[in-house]
Structure 1
Amino acid sequence: MVAQVLVALGGAVVRVTGSGLGCPTWPECAPGSMFPVEHPELGQVHQWIEFGNRLLGVGVGVVAAIAFLVAWVGRPRRRRFLLLAATMPLGVLAQGVVGGFTVLMGLEWWTVALHFLPSPVLVWCAVLLAAAANEGDGPARWHAPRPLLVATAVVLGAVLVSGTLVTGAGPHAGDAGTPRLALPVSVLAQVHADLLFLFLGLVVALGFVARNRRYPLLVAAVLAQAVVGVVQYRIGVPIVLAALHVLGAMLTVAALAAVWTASRERGVLDVPQHEPGLGGVGGEDQEPVSVVAVDDRHPDAGPAQA
């Protein structure tokens, strides 16, 4: 999850510093070279920022591949856990391809939006993957209204999409010469704010029913994100706050995903246990040990309901 958040933050740094075309081609950084080169038309700082972001993407891809391999070699092999793990390397690969397309298209605003939007999805999947590692694979039993959780997640998605539109019309395109979305920033920002207020209302409603220890993290992330968003808009979208706003968006997604996983149970995880000299060393496997996932519900919460 941390790696996916860093990818989004790295992309934001590239965009707000105007380094999106620091490496003007893809997969090479400069024509004929995978690495930054001295060139009169390419700023060295912008080249290294974009190149560093690409290296970060490669590193995250390695982490994602390792996560999948761990899920693959684990026994017993669990289908849901394996599928969640597979989303990591596949998502990173897809995002890399979209990133290359974005560069080749000259940072058209809609390609930048498409390049960003997989990041919150991958952050969400990473939180679910971490939870799946310590829970069973039975049917989910919800102790918070699932429709409310789904609605909250959908509205958060709409907030993120509208945010990409504000960015598309705003000053931080990733390169000074990139055409912008031809819509008034004030109108798009108002739509973004209206969706945020709706999201805040749903988060408040969750507070009455999703009673678990992770809810305060969601509240803190949402409030901090709202403050940063308002301040950056009022003072002209400085680059530091613009980057922090992207970071806050990823942390909000992670916090809501954490509330989601803590709002349902999937039973216990059966882990085969071996005694030295018996299981796995010529003897028979021992009986599996049931491991109960950590209950993140509020201590006063009632029993789970089917």
Structure 2
Amino acid sequence: MPLETLKARIDRLPDPSRRLQLGFAVAVLATQALIAMTGAVVRVTGSGLGCPTWPQCFPGSMVPVSHPEYDTLNQWIEYGNRLFTGVVGIIAGICFVLAYLHRPRTDRRYLWLAAAMPIGVVVQAAIGGVTVRLSLVWWSVAIHLLASTVMVWLATLLVHAVPRDDDVPAPENTVPGALRTWLYVQTALLAGLLVTGTMVTGAGPHGGDPDTPRLGIPVETMAHVHATFLYTFLGSLVLLGFWLRAQQGFPPPWRRYRVLVAVVVAQGTVGLVQFLTGVPELLVCLHVLGAMCVIIATGSVWCAVRGRTREVDLEAAGSRVG
């Protein structure tokens, strides 16, 4: 079939509703966050090499098989995580198709964010395969987790980019320069918080396999560095609150801001209890899930501030034209 004919047939397909597009965007975000937690389950149960090869589980078999050197439960935990990757990929693919079918295609950013979802799943699966082939060396596991954080951030932006029926294209660079800079500073602090968190994990007891070499830094040292980033990030949130209160021309997104502060405080509390109680497995999984929630809440505030500022600028531009 000629490409022109195929494209014409695709263009005749009905425009998916915003509700459907938003539903799959939220589903992508939820599954991207959940797969990070299932990865933590793999790690704390020592199941990272339950399937010692990739993409096969065992040489010659895509599924777990009885083996005297590998516990059956560990095999299925790791294999279950791989199967869930397929679920994430299917949802991400549908999300992209819905974004592509949306008309008119005036928001290229929305389409690119949607395209990043299935591409990211493929890249993340490849990183996971490399991690297995490297026998779960700590830095490969860290990269694997950080890739998930990037995907959760992009998925958060995607949810907020789903076009509304009454959307008006917004001009670029409409956010006040100082506030834009501060948002980037906060995002950089969040990145530092996440990177040091993976290093705490690399120095900690849960490596995914009992024989995996750990990061040669005392876990207490890395925990203090990680906590320093947490306190700095909290301080930046306090300053952002004062900044938003002083802004003129748009109502600040206080609900999202309060949710972000609450999530960060709760995450810090879980991390402290986790450190004081010897890093129990359940709290490790909750801490990873909490990290994904912090990313989502931060991205939500980011989108709210930028979006509202753009709306104000559009109104101002309209009044000048009028």
> Could you state the TM-score of these two structures normalised by the residue count of structure 1?
0.85
Q: Distance in 1 between matches of 2:34 and 2:62?
A: 22
Q: Distance in 1 between matches of 2:104 and 2:46?
A: 48
Residue of structure 1 aligned with 2:120, choices 50, 69, 91: 91
Q: Distance in 1 between matches of 2:219 and 2:315?
A: 45
Question: 1:136, 1:266 within 8 Å by CA — same for their partners in 2?
Answer: no
Q: Distance in 2 between matches of 1:47 and 1:70?
A: 35
Give the drift of 1:201. 0.4
Matches within 5 A, 1:1-306: 1-77=29-105, 78-134=107-163, 135-139=167-171, 141-142=174-175, 145-210=179-244, 211-212=252-253, 213-265=255-307
Question: 2:175, 2:309 within 8 Å by CA — same for their partners in 1?
Answer: no
**Residues 195 and 106 of structure 1: is their aligned pair in 2 closer, same or farther, counting only changes over 3 Å?**
same
Q: Which runs of 5+ in 2 are unaligned?
A: 1-28, 245-251, 318-322
Tell me the alpha carbon deviations over residues 263-285 of structure 1, each in whole angstroms, 9 at most, x when there is no partner: 022899xxxxxxxxxxxxxxxxx
Tell me the alpha carbon deviations over residues 218-245 of structure 1, each in whole angstroms, 9 at most, x when there is no partner: 0111011000000000110000000100
Of Structure 1 and Structure 2, the greater helix share is in 2
The amino acid across from 2:197 in the alignment is G
Q: Distance in 2 between matches of 1:168 and 1:106?
A: 14
Give the drift of 1:217. 1.1
Counterpart secondary structure, 1:142: coil
The amino acid across from 2:73 in the alignment is V
The amino acid across from 1:41 in the alignment is E
Question: 1:138, 1:267 within 8 Å by CA — same for their partners in 2?
Answer: no
Give the drift of 1:142. 3.1
Identity %: 53
Q: Distance in 2 between matches of 1:163 and 1:37?
A: 35
Counterpart secondary structure, 1:214: helix
The amino acid across from 2:189 in the alignment is V
Tell me the alpha carbon deviations over residues 84-125 of structure 1, each in whole angstroms, 9 at most, x when there is no partner: 111111111111000000001100000000111011111111
Give the drift of 1:71. 1.0
Q: Distance in 2 between matches of 1:161 and 1:12?
A: 16
Q: Distance in 2 between matches of 1:34 and 1:245?
A: 31
The amino acid across from 2:55 in the alignment is P
Give the drift of 1:137. 3.8
Counterpart secondary structure, 1:121: helix
**Residues 304 and 101 of structure 1: is their aligned pair in 2 closer, same or farther, counting only changes over 3 Å?**
farther
Q: CA RMSD for the aligned pairs?
A: 2.2
Q: Distance in 2 between matches of 1:38 and 1:96?
A: 25
Give the drift of 1:15. 0.5
Q: Distance in 2 between matches of 1:24 and 1:104?
A: 8
Q: Which runs of 5+ in 1 are unaligned?
A: 269-291, 296-302
> Could you state the TM-score of these two structures normalised by the residue count of structure 2?
0.81
